[in-house]
């Protein structure tokens, strides 16, 4: 792989946010092939990517997606990754989860891929969260709550128990298996460049195909991303005193983190989970509060934003969905203790103008989850030790 070295970077306390990077070659050959790295591009050999992927779990959150799409996603993930499918699909009247499981088993007969399939409502995993001291994720029924963010948190603990070093997320509703392959390579390429054990890689789609006037049009920015990125950048500019636009991946559903970082940060529920990563990094490692983790502050937290070349095509979920996503992102920016009053006022104005909230309404708060580091790993593990999906755990 050949990736350009980040052209710009913004520092915010201990956070180092790298500007967008472009990939020049998906495959740049063996370590001693010609065209060695210069000052502006980094060449990452296949072996290096392989080693990282060997320590990586790729999580596919699923809720009632077409089985064909899930198979396509599996096809795109390199063999050396552990795949964790967290499904919240219905179990009755049709047991969609069972259908997914059989399809995956069948696929694995051909590939021997390492795939763990779990249901979000698995009572044993819920019990592990309860005994490990993390009741926040559980509903009144004692099962893990609904939602993609909740499924992601569950998967983070499974990846941790499997002894993985990296965790990446890829939505199940992706129409291009080739894009999935590219996302994983972007994750491992990003980690190969990282200097800190606390790092994150976010994919910026180069285009999203749409039909406009009967022609295919490759839009670059989604309507939600434009707004989320604008507010996140304004917040950054407020503190640095320089106007900048370094953040381009406020809504990156496709992202990966080192497990060390994944265990330390707080999360928010729903569609705000991805924008909230930035907010929580600013809150925790921005140097604005008394540092909770001085050792992380010393090493810094690195955020890479890497552009994919494949177009991003997923299931269309309608106009209303866009407003929901904008609201989710702006809610967590509005309610953060690091957001200045002036920006809060702008957010209110934006939401009222878009009629997302009423003329006298203020944005409601989101639901937040504390860092997973508070879980007692031994207790968590003890509950799961006899389950068959626990066989991959160390």
> What is the contact mask toward Co ion in residues 99 to 128, using x (rule: CB under 5 A)?
------------------------------
Window contacting Co ion (CB under 5 A); options: 172-180, 202-210, 217-225, 297-305: 172-180
**Closest CB to ligand GDP among 298 and 317?**
317
- Told to check if 314 binds Co ion by CB under 5 A, we report yes
Of ligand GDP, Co ion, none, which one does residue 228 interact with (CB within 5 to 8 Å by kind)?
Answer: none
**Closest CB to Co ion among 61 and 132?**
61
User: Smallest distance from the beta carbon of 61 to Co ion, in angstroms?
Assistant: 10
**Closest CB to Co ion among 119 and 312?**
312
Of ligand GDP, Co ion, none, which one does residue 120 interact with (CB within 5 to 8 Å by kind)?
Answer: ligand GDP
**Closest CB to Co ion among 63 and 314?**
314
User: Smallest distance from the beta carbon of 163 to ligand GDP, in angstroms?
Assistant: 22
Question: How many Å apart are CA 227 and CA 34, to the nearest integer?
Answer: 43
Two tokens at 305?
Answer: 């934003």
The count of other CB atoms within 10 Å of the CB of residue 49 is 23
**Closest CB to Co ion among 314 and 354?**
314
Q: How many residues bind Co ion (CB under 5 A)?
A: 3
The count of other CB atoms within 10 Å of the CB of residue 16 is 20
User: Smallest distance from the beta carbon of 17 to ligand GDP, in angstroms?
Assistant: 22
Rg of the chain over Cα atoms, rounded to whole angstroms, equals: 21
- Picking from 133, 27, 196, 101, the residue whose alpha carbon sits closest to that of residue 379 is 133
Burial of 63 (0-12, 13-18, 19+ CB in 10 A): middle
Quick one: DSSP state of residue 208? E
- Binding region for ligand GDP (CB under 6 A): 61-63, 65, 86-88, 120, 146-148, 151, 171-173, 253, 314-315, 317, 321
Two tokens at 364?
Answer: 């409601």
Residue in the block written with tokens 């609201």: 327
As beta bridge partners, residue 56 has 166
User: Smallest distance from the beta carbon of 178 to ligand GDP, in angstroms?
Assistant: 18
**Closest CB to Co ion among 175 and 389?**
175
Ranges of H-type helices in the chain: 46-54, 67-76, 96-111, 123-131, 148-161, 177-193, 223-240, 259-264, 273-285, 294-299, 319-334, 341-353, 377-384
Of ligand GDP, Co ion, none, which one does residue 250 interact with (CB within 5 to 8 Å by kind)?
Answer: none
- Residue selected from 53, 173, 274, 350 as contacting Co ion according to rule CB under 5 A: 173
């Amino acid at each position: 792989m050949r990736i350009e070295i980040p052209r710009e970077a913004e520092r915010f306390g201990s956070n180092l946010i790298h500007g967008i990077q472009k990939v020049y070659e998906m495959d740049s050959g063996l370590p001693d092939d010609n065209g060695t790295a210069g000052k502006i591009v980094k060449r990452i050999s296949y072996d290096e990517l392989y080693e990282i992927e060997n320590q990586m779990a790729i999580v596919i959150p699923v809720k009632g997606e077409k089985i064909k799409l899930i198979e396509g996603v599996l096809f795109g993930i390199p063999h050396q990754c552990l795949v964790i499918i967290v499904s919240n699909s219905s179990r009755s009247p049709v047991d969609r989860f069972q259908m997914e499981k059989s399809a995956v088993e069948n696929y694995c007969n051909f590939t021997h891929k390492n795939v763990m399939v779990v249901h979000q409502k698995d009572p044993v995993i819920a019990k592990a969260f309860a005994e490990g001291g993390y009741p926040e994720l559980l509903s009144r029924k004692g099962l893990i709550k609904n939602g993609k963010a909740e499924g992601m948190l569950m998967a983070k603990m499974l990846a941790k128990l499997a002894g993985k070093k990296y965790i990446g997320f890829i939505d199940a509703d992706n129409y291009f298996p080739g894009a999935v392959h590219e996302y994983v390579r972007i994750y491992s390429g990003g980690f190969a460049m990282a200097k800190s054990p606390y790092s994150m890689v976010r994919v910026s789609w180069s285009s999203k195909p749409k039909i406009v006037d009967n022609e295919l049009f490759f839009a670059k920015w989604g309507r939600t991303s434009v707004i989320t990125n604008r507010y996140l950048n304004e917040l950054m500019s407020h503190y640095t005193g320089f106007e900048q636009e370094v953040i381009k991946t406020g809504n990156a559903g496709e992202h990966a983190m080192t497990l060390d970082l994944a265990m330390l940060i707080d999360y928010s529920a729903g569609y705000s989970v991805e924008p909230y990563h930035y907010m929580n990094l600013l809150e925790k490692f921005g140097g604005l509060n008394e540092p909770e983790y001085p050792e992380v502050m010393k090493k810094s937290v690195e955020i890479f934003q890497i552009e994919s070349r494949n177009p991003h095509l997923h299931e269309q979920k309608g106009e209303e969905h866009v407003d929901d996503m904008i609201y989710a992102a702006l809610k967590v920016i509005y309610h953060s203790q690091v957001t200045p009053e002036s920006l809060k006022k702008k957010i209110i104005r934006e939401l009222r103008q878009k009629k997302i909230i009423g003329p006298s309404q203020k944005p409601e708060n989101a639901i937040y989850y504390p860092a997973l580091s508070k879980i007692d790993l031994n207790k968590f593990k003890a509950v799961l030790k006899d389950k068959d999906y626990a066989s991959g755990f160390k």
